[in-house]
Amino acid sequence: MEMLPKLLLLLLILDVARSAQKLQEFFEWKIMDFDFPSERDRAMAIFRGKYKPENSLPVGIEIWRDKLFVTVPRWKEGIPSTLNYVPINSPLKNPPLIPYPDLKSNELGNCEQGLSTVYRLKADACDRLWVLDTGTFGIDKTTQNVCPYALNIFDLNTNKRIRRYEFRPEDVNMNTFIANIVVDVGKTCDDAHAYFSDELGYGLIVYSFKKNTSWRFAHSFFLPDPLRGDFTIDKLNFQWGSEGIFGMSLSPLQEDGSKWLYFSPLASHREFAVSTATLKNSSKVGESWREFLALEERGPNSHTTSRVMDEFGVQFFNLIDQNAVGCWNSQYPYHKKNHAVVDRDDVGLIFPADVKVDGNRNLWVISDRMSNFLEASLDYNEVNFRVYFAPVEKLIEGTVCQGAKRYRVSGNYGFDRYHVFGHDYNYLF
Ligand SMILES: *[C@@H]1O[C@H](CO)[C@@H](O)[C@H](O)[C@H]1NC(C)=O
Ligand SMILES: *[C@@H]1O[C@H](CO)[C@@H](O)[C@H](O)[C@H]1NC(C)=O
């Protein structure tokens, strides 16, 4: 007789485990809507084919004060605006996207003044928003390069663009596709760098804000692992075998004034790292093969596209095959046993496309069923896009990621390579 309640309890626990526990749903949309000046404008935009609601897939997020930025790449027609935001305190569960800084600045094909396609973006400590415009329309074989790749930086206080930098022809190649950006601010706002991962052209591009110039690293660690190109997400099987360097995150500042840039190709289960001291030195291009480090593999089903590290050195990464978000406490070596799944949800977290930590140490996640959208189709009667949120401390409670100590700039904490990377470093080099 005692067996039954126990079994029921177990079933209950198993059932609950399939939906997000710690992450709280913040926004949800069945289909993306934009904030048009009036209902009439919306109707006209639909009538003219300028707005096709079913073609918008939100991909990247960023949080700055009371704004949640949401990007929508122009993979298909009818996307009014690629860079948008919603007010975090919106009373709606599905607020329409507001073009940022305005609709005109999001004009497709207006290379000088407009943004054509934006994937991921980063707000920095100096209240600047760093946005890479890929200048593209379409996806895969249909991609048209209507404008050159250009970095756009906005002043978030004035909503004015303060810089536009076109990548040099040498920064890109025939296969270039860049969807990720990280920003590295040093001691002053002027001392800032951005790093861009070229997923299909296999490069890492560095931009110096002070010098207003860029350079490009090549490395075999940027290539996909040929054994890791097979994906199954939400029961859909497909091959993304040529996807190289993708997600990146920066460690807190180390004693010598540098940070670690962690990265992983998309078709790979392995993590790699390189010091920003290497990346920031343009003379190192072509002379730094051994300064890139190979860490361990995360284990089966651990493709990731997005990661972020908080000020305590806890890295969060999306686990797209597991409908989950994972963490690594970088106080310990990059090894499976020092990783944990902080939350998963087989409905709500299908393709968690982007993860970010805000200034109050909350983790934000957007999930968008991207693989279904690209490889099959979405059912717009269902909720397809969700934004989740949770305080980091709550999320890592009871996991190996709990109890990370704030990195100190002085002292030896986390600086020693052996300590950070464990045996892998000595094993490989
Ligand atoms: C930075 O370089 C770009 C060239 O891509 C140029 O158009 C722009 O004026 C420069 N900005 C500054 C602040 O020097
Ligand atoms: C940049 O790299 C070159 C070549 O490795 C080296 O000689 C130089 O000292 C480095 N500069 C800095 C500022 O570290």
Tell me, letter by letter, the H, E, C secondary structure of 239-288. Answer: ECCCCCEEEEEECCCCCCCCCEEEEEECCCCEEEEEEHHHHCCHHHCCCC
CA distance 14 to 37: 47
Protein residue closest via CA to atom 7 of ligand 1: 165
- Evaluate the omega torsion of the peptide bond into residue 101 and state whether it is cis, within 30 degrees of 0: yes
* 282 CA distance to ligand 2 middle (Å): 8
Lowest mean pLDDT among 3-7, 233-237, 405-409: 405-409
Q: Average of pLDDT values for 237-244?
A: 96
Half-sphere exposure of 68 (CA within 13 A, CB side): 28
Ligand 2 center from residue 208 Cα (angstroms): 16
More confident residue, 278 or 21: 278
Alpha carbon separation from 230 to 79, 180, 241, 317, 369 (Å, rounded) = 30, 22, 7, 19, 17
Cα–Cα distance for residue pair 404/124, rounded to 1 Å: 23
What digits encode the pLDDT tens for the residues 200-224? Answer: 999 999 999 999 999 999 999 999 9
Rounded to whole angstroms, the Cα distance separating 29 from 71 reads 14
pLDDT band at 421 (very low <50, low <70, confident <90, very high): very low
Q: How far apart, in whole angstroms, are the C-alpha atoms of residue 265 and residue 202?
A: 9
Backbone φ, ψ for residue 357 (5° rounding): -115, 130
Report the number of secondary-structure helices (H) and strands (E) in the chain: 7, 28
Mean pLDDT over all residues of the chain?
91
- pTM exceeding the 0.75 threshold for the entire prediction: yes
Going by CA atoms, what residue is nearest to atom 4 of ligand 1? 165
First-last CA distance in the chain: 60
Confidence category of residue 322, pLDDT binned at 50, 70, 90: very high
Query: How does pLDDT run across 67-92, given as a tens digit for each residue?
Result: 999 999 999 999 999 999 999 999 99
Ligand with minimal distance to 212 CA: 1
pLDDT at 100: 98
Closest ligand 2 atom to Cα of 281:
1
d(CA 180, CA 246) in angstroms, rounded, equals 7
Q: Which bound ligand lies closest to the C-alpha atom of 153?
A: 1
CA-proximal residue: ligand 2, atom 6 (nearest): 283
Which residue's CA is the closest to the ligand 1 atom numbered 3?
165
Which residue owns the Cα nearest ligand 2 atom 7? 283
Nearest ligand for residue 163 CA: 1
CA of 283 to the centre of ligand 2 (A): 6
Q: Which ligand is nearest to the CA of 282?
A: 2
Distance 285 CA to ligand 2 centre (A): 11
Comparing 141-145, 320-324, 360-364, the range with the smallest average pLDDT is 141-145
Burial degree of 152 (CB within 10 A; 0-12, 13-18, 19+): buried
Residue identifier of the C-alpha nearest atom 12 of ligand 1: 212
Expressed in angstroms and rounded, the spacing between residue 164 Cα and the centre of ligand 1 is 7
State the average pLDDT over residues 143-163.
97
Phi and psi torsions of 54, nearest 5°: -75, -5
Q: What is the mean pLDDT of residues 36-58?
A: 96
- Residue 30 near residue 381, CB atoms below 8 Å: yes
Q: CA nearest 132: which of 145, 144, 146, 117?
A: 117
Using the 8-state DSSP alphabet, how is residue 97 labeled? B
287 CA closest ligand 2 atom index: 5
Nearest-5° angle of CA 415, CA 259, CA 148? 160
Separation of alpha carbons 375 and 240, rounded Å: 11
Q: Cα(18)–Cα(201) distance, rounded to whole angstroms?
A: 37
Residue 25 CB less than 6 A away from ligand 1: no
In the prediction, which pLDDT does 414 show?
36
The pLDDT of residue 428 is 26
Q: With bands split at pLDDT 50, 70 and 90, how would you rate the model's confidence at 277?
A: very high
